């Protein structure tokens, strides 16, 4: 257990539905990252927060994806009008931003779009 939690762990949804995932980082960490990972591939960067500010967003992220981090604590990732290509593991990580900037990953949320 790294101290980063994600909810839910698994989500099955029908195409066209909206889904929302939650990430609770390590409490003293001010950086939070979202990644997407498909089978056999490395994690793909989606977005990054420094406290409550969203500083970077991948150009691969379509307008159907949105992330928030109100008050610089937990974060949510919403996918609207899901497509089968959205099926993947969604990983959240946090870091202190101090020397080394080691990222601590949560267990991930596995999304299956049918």
Partner 1 sequence: LAKTTQPISMDSYEGQEVNITCSHNNIATNDYITWYQQFPSQGPRFIIQGYKTKVTNEVASLFIPADRKSSTLSLPRVSLSDTAVYYCLVGDIAGNNRKLIWGLGTSLAVNP
- Binding interface with partner 1 (CB under 8 A): 2, 4, 31, 33, 35, 40-45, 48, 50, 55-56, 58, 89, 91, 93, 100-108, 110
Decide whether 50 or 66 has the Cβ nearer to partner 1: 50
Q: Are 12 and 68 in contact (CB under 8 A)?
A: no
Looking at the chain, the number of H-run helices and the number of E-run strands are 0, 11
Burial of 110 (0-12, 13-18, 19+ CB in 10 A): middle
Decide whether 93 or 113 has the Cβ nearer to partner 1: 93
Decide whether 15 or 98 has the Cβ nearer to partner 1: 98
CB of 62 to partner 1, least distance (A): 17
d(CA 77, CA 46): 10
CB of 82 to partner 1, least distance (A): 21
């Amino acid at each position: 257990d790294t101290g980063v939690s994600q909810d839910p762990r698994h989500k099955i949804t029908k195409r066209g539905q909206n889904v929302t995932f939650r990430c609770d980082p390590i409490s003293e960490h001010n950086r939070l990252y979202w990644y997407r990972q498909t089978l056999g591939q490395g994690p793909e960067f989606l977005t990054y927060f420094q406290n409550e500010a969203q500083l970077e967003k991948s150009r691969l992220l379509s307008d159907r994806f949105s992330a928030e981090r109100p008050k610089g604590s937990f974060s949510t990732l919403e996918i609207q009008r899901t497509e089968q290509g959205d099926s993947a593991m969604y990983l959240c990580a946090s870091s202190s931003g101090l020397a080394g900037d080691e990222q601590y990953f949560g267990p991930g949320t596995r999304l299956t779009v049918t």
